[in-house]
Amino acid sequence: MRRVVSMTMVLIALACSSAVAGSGSGAENKTVAASPVNTSSPALEADVKRSMYAVKVFTGRLQSELVQAMQAGGPTNAIAVCNTRAGKIAAEVSKKQNFTMKRVSLKNRNPDNAANEWQRPVLREFELRKQNGEPMKDLIYADIVETAVGNQFRFMKAIPTGRVCMKCHGTKIEPAVKARLEKLYPDDKALGYSVGDIRGAFVVTRDMIR
> Phi then psi for 13, rounded to 5 degrees?
-75, -15
Name the average pLDDT for the chain.
Answer: 81
pLDDT single digits (tens) 13-47: 232 333 333 333 333 433 344 333 444 577 788 89
| Cα 98 to Cα 38: distance, rounded to the nearest angstrom | 23
- Under 8 Å between Cβ of 20 and 204: yes
Q: Mind giving me the DSSP string for 108-130?
A: -SSGGGB--TTHHHHHHHHHHHH
| Cα 172 to Cα 34: distance, rounded to the nearest angstrom | 35
Query: Of 169 and 2, which is predicted with more confidence?
Result: 169
pLDDT single digits (tens) 93-114: 999 988 999 999 999 999 999 9
Q: Can you give the pTM of this predicted structure?
A: 0.79
In percent, the amount of the chain with pLDDT more than 70 equals: 80
In percent, the amount of the chain with pLDDT more than 90 equals: 57
Which residues, 6+ apart, have CB-to-CB distance to 33 below 8 Å?
6, 7, 8, 141, 143
Q: Say yes or no to pLDDT of 11 above 50.
A: no
What is the pLDDT at residue 37?
Answer: 42
Average pLDDT of the segment spanning 142-148? 89
pLDDT single digits (tens) 147-170: 888 889 999 999 999 888 888 999
Q: Say yes or no to pLDDT of 3 above 70.
A: no
- How far are the Cα atoms of 40, 164, 203 from residue 182, in angstroms, in the given order? 48, 19, 26
